[in-house]
Copies of this chain bind each other. A is one copy, B any other.
Amino acid sequence: MMRSDADFMKEAYAEAQKGLEEGGLPIGAILVRDGEIIGRGHNQRVQKADPILHGEMACMQNAGRQASYKGTVMYTTLSPCMMCTGTIIQFGVPRVVVGESVNFKGYQDVLALAGIEVKDLHDPACIDMMGDFIRHHPGLWNEDIGK
């Protein structure tokens, strides 16, 4: 049975929750091809003192070397920043499903301009998780997006 976008988003959400439990930013992502999860990760700024490991980047790292990203879908709990947007464009991930864009608008317009299919689930669970974190840790959030 085909898993739905909402179902795969739960996997990205579970990654974000892992990050939260570790004391980090709750942003998670998975990479799927043909219904199989081939990569997963969550933001590691705090845990590894690593500014480049946003959820989407950790996920791409975890997927490892790929000859091609044809047919892949990136699921991410939060609308991608410009680093993650550039990465998705460079490697040619053709479809991106976003949990929410209320807490961070991101660059869905840039993805679309590059010919990438974008779907925003406006997921209340993702909105609540990120909104709570930003309210309690505004400094960490601003550092994470370079503000």
Contact = CB atoms under 8 A, between A and B. Distances in A.
A81 B51 CA distance: 18
Contacts of A89: 82-83, 86
A100 to B, nearest CB: 19
Interface residues of A, number: 30
Contacts of A67: 143
Contact of A65 (B51, B63, B87, B92): B51
A83 to B, nearest CB: 4
Copies per complex of this chain = 2
A85 interface: yes
A50 B64 CA distance: 6
Contacts of A68: 146
A146 B69 contact: yes
Contacts of A12: none
B50 A61 contact: yes
A147 B52 CA distance: 22
Given A49-B64, A51-B65, A83-B91, 10 more contacts: A45-B65, A49-B65, A51-B64, A51-B66, A52-B87, A67-B143, A81-B86, A83-B90, A85-B86, A86-B86
